[in-house]
Structure 1
Amino acid sequence: MASHSTSSTTVPRKRSKTQSEVAVNPSFDNLPSSLLEVIMSRLVLKDNIRASASCKTWREAAVSVRVVEKHPWLFCFPKRGTSFELIDPLHWKTHTLNLPELADSTLCYSRDGWLLMRRSVSKDMFFFNPFSRERVSLPKFEQSFLVIAFSCPPTSDHCVVGLVSSLRFYVENQERRITISTCHPGATEWITQESVFHSVFLWHDKHHSKLFYLHNRFYFFHCFNQGGGSLHSFHTSSRTWDSHYAYVSSEHQLSFYQKASFLAEKNGELFLMLTSGNEKPLIYKLVSSNWVKMSLTELDGLTFFVSFYNSELRNNLPWMRNNVYFSRFGYNRKSCVSYSLDESTYSPCKEWHSWQQLCPPQSIWIVPP
């Protein structure tokens, strides 16, 4: 019997390309890993993630150069005592910090991992880092104030603190006056000045004015009683106000006391978010002294974290993109209340009648170490 030949059933092995063949017919599969990493490092996070799904080699290169920003955590003040909660809004991990240094103190502002505090009785003001327990004193400020902010950590030589203590309107001459005070760590007193405005854009806005520092200026935003708002800026070196007003017309139809504005910066650009209870948050970017409303495509994954006192902005958070996170706990304390810009819905779904429900004054966003 003739033997059965196996030549028709044998599967030949795939032959590897020689170096000469690769040189004649190059492909993306043959790119060296160092070059792939350079290419991946130039992609924005969204495109980096898409490219990583192509193959194992691309995934390894994309992950090796992927930069994911740190998201802020929620710092919660107790109703009594000195046990403070620090909560991760992504994994909802809770840490307890015992901070007797903050007894009899009220919160004013937070930025770059530092808290700006004020003693309730003595009116002493100071910076405090809840992680390192470091404290930096400021001159006492006896009066009440409307809003306050600082530029950078108090350990920097460039740190400056600014506060607006009063807004006055004089009916007889349609004159509006604003009082601003500034100081820096190590100073012995505040420098205060009152400036006069004749513009109708300046409005007494005690609860919804926001102050934010960027590019040697304190930006001051006002919501209007009839909707919308305007932006003013105070130059810290020349101590002059910018007379050009960046006006934004709000689509919200709720009353003055139900609106809130939040200023934040990203890569040197100033952003504004307006919200009012259960309405859709509106987001704008300052472009050439004008507020430009941003579409969902233009946002490109931005994430807002807002509270009664401050706001933080990120754009490299893969699992939290296109969301607004408020400082209010959700049901059963398992998550923060958030708004999905992709789905145009709040989570949990509930009627929020005012922005203060979403941003209670007992919590603030802080950058963890």
Structure 2
Amino acid sequence: MAEARRGWADLPTDIGTSIAEHLVLIDLSFRKVCKSWNSAYAASRCSAKIESPPNYEPWFILYGEDSQCILLKGSQKKYKINFPELDGATCIASRDGWLLVHQETVIFFFCPFSRSKIVLPQFPDSEQRDYIGAFSSPPTSKDCAVCVVRRNDKLEVELQLLYRGANAWTMHKYSYCRDFFNNIKAAAYLDDRKRFHIYDDINGFLTFSPEDGNWKIYLIIGIGISRYKSAEVERIPFFISRWSFQMRSMKTKLGLKEDVSIDTCGTLASYRTDNHIQYILLFNENISQKTETRSRRGRRLKGVWIEPRFHKIPQKCSRHDL
């Protein structure tokens, strides 16, 4: 009598865990070999050492033509990988390994490494505008708040706000920044300040408090910020990097020609120093093709910085939770 074929789930747990601990994050798709193996080795056990490494350099995802993308791991290895979720979409925020993605009237959270996806209530604007987003905490957190911001034709700042559990977005506007605030290039949120921070491409800086709807405008002076026409000064809560893509020669590392234009989405990355957590905010960038090739129609791609983390949605978390 032939011996019964054994499934992947029969592999001893300690062996599965040992295998996972020697894989890089991109290889953790081994759990999708079959349902039995995926259930036998939960993500929280098999990727703990890979998800939260100290001082990990953000990775970069290049997308924009179809579902085929390039993932650059740090400054080293390139992977070709298929992300259908990014086909025809635009990443507008990145934090803690989660992407906030805009696709017509749909905005959703997406973790590329686990393929976890959380769809938010319908966005009130169907146009693909130059939106920039930010969120206060991972989408699985009870207190997660999401903002999507842009500068409209009247030079006002429009901010759409959504709390977890809400069924609709709420609009907030700031109308008094025409002379002191330019094109939006970055947005972020830090818990200790309980405010969204919105930066322009020169030295303007806005804050918005979701609790009371209060706006404040600042000018950046060195590493500090100062209220316009005020003596009030405070320190910027994190380091800012305006030209990460260009300074790291990312076109060369990605193997792109000079006729390629790229719009990038930044990220809020964290790292440890002297037992303290510090943050660095990578700005959005718009990299045009070289002048000498503009007579020819070049490619226009998109990119996003992301911290390498694997998030699996808890069973109790559904698309209606946000």
TM-score range, shorter chain: 0.5 to 0.7
Matched, 1:188 2:177: no
Query: What's the counterpart of residue 156 of structure 1?
Result: 141
Question: SS state of the match for residue 197, structure 2?
Answer: strand
C-alpha distance in structure 2 between counterparts of 1:197 and 1:180, whole Å: 14
Matched, 1:112 2:96: yes
Query: What's the counterpart of residue 202 of structure 1?
Result: 181
**Which residue, out of 65, 86, 105, partners 1:123?**
105
Task: Say if 2:94 and 2:268, in contact at 8 Å, map to a contact too.
Answer: no
Cα distance, 1:241 vs. partner? 0.4
**Cα separation, partners in 2 of 1:94 and 1:276, compared to 1, 3 Å:** closer
C-alpha distance in structure 1 between counterparts of 2:246 and 2:206, whole Å: 28
Question: SS state of the match for residue 197, structure 1?
Answer: coil
What's the TM-score once normalised by structure 2's chain length?
0.54
C-alpha distance in structure 1 between counterparts of 2:156 and 2:146, whole Å: 20
Task: Say if 2:195 and 2:207, in contact at 8 Å, map to a contact too.
Answer: yes
Task: Say if 2:95 and 2:306, in contact at 8 Å, map to a contact too.
Answer: yes
Deviations 1:52-71 (A, max 9, x none): xxxxxxxxxxxxxxx84222
Deviations 1:314-363 (A, max 9, x none): 5569xxxxxx9x99xxxxxxxxxxxxxxxxxxxxxxxxxx96259x8522
**Which residue, out of 69, 89, 98, partners 1:84?**
69
- The percentage of aligned residue pairs carrying the same residue is 25
Query: What's the counterpart of residue 46 of structure 1?
Result: none
Matched, 1:309 2:265: yes
Query: What's the counterpart of residue 87 of structure 2?
Result: 103
Query: What's the counterpart of residue 139 of structure 1?
Result: 121
Query: What's the counterpart of residue 269 of structure 1?
Result: 237
Deviations 1:118-168 (A, max 9, x none): 22xx42111111122111111222253542222221111121111223345
Task: Say if 2:64 and 2:87, in contact at 8 Å, map to a contact too.
Answer: no
**Which residue, out of 208, 215, 218, partners 1:241?**
215
Deviations 1:210-244 (A, max 9, x none): 222123211112235xxxx221100111111025x
C-alpha distance in structure 2 between counterparts of 1:105 and 1:191, whole Å: 23
Bigger mean CA offset, 109-118 vs 215-224: 215-224
**Cα separation, partners in 2 of 1:198 and 1:164, compared to 1, 3 Å:** closer
Query: What's the counterpart of residue 60 of structure 2?
Result: 74
Q: Which runs of 5+ in 1 are unaligned?
A: 1-66, 170-175, 251-267, 280-306, 318-323, 328-353
Task: Say if 1:179 and 1:193, in contact at 8 Å, map to a contact too.
Answer: yes
Matched, 1:366 2:300: no
Cα distance, 1:273 vs. partner? 3.3
**Cα separation, partners in 2 of 1:276 and 1:137, compared to 1, 3 Å:** closer
**Cα separation, partners in 2 of 1:126 and 1:275, compared to 1, 3 Å:** closer
Cα distance, 1:106 vs. partner? 2.4
Matched, 1:223 2:201: yes
Cα distance, 1:184 vs. partner? 2.9
Structure 1 residues 25-104: aligned runs within 5 Å = 68-77=54-63, 79-80=65-66, 82-90=67-75, 92-104=76-88
**Cα separation, partners in 2 of 1:357 and 1:312, compared to 1, 3 Å:** farther
**Cα separation, partners in 2 of 1:179 and 1:309, compared to 1, 3 Å:** same
Determine which structure has more spread, i.e. the larger CA radius of gyration: 1
C-alpha distance in structure 1 between counterparts of 2:270 and 2:106, whole Å: 33
Structure 1 residues 345-364: aligned runs within 5 Å = 356-357=287-288, 362-364=302-304
Which structure would you say has the larger RCO, counting Cα contacts within 8 Å and 6 or more residues apart? 2
C-alpha distance in structure 2 between counterparts of 1:276 and 1:70, whole Å: 15
Question: SS state of the match for residue 156, structure 2?
Answer: strand
C-alpha distance in structure 2 between counterparts of 1:277 and 1:86, whole Å: 14
Deviations 1:246-297 (A, max 9, x none): 33379xxxxxxxxxxxxxxxxx932233459989xxxxxxxxxxxxxxxxxx
Matched AA of 2:189: Y
Matched AA of 2:302: Q
C-alpha distance in structure 1 between counterparts of 2:90 and 2:245, whole Å: 25
Question: SS state of the match for residue 101, structure 1?
Answer: helix
RMSD of equivalent CA atoms: 3.7
Deviations 1:15-59 (A, max 9, x none): xxxxxxxxxxxxxxxxxxxxxxxxxxxxxxxxxxxxxxxxxxxxx
Query: What's the counterpart of residue 339 of structure 1?
Result: none
**Cα separation, partners in 2 of 1:274 and 1:184, compared to 1, 3 Å:** same
C-alpha distance in structure 1 between counterparts of 2:98 and 2:177, whole Å: 37
C-alpha distance in structure 2 between counterparts of 1:68 and 1:355, whole Å: 29
Query: What's the counterpart of residue 13 of structure 2?
Result: none
**Cα separation, partners in 2 of 1:316 and 1:219, compared to 1, 3 Å:** closer
**Cα separation, partners in 2 of 1:232 and 1:123, compared to 1, 3 Å:** same
C-alpha distance in structure 1 between counterparts of 2:205 and 2:110, whole Å: 30
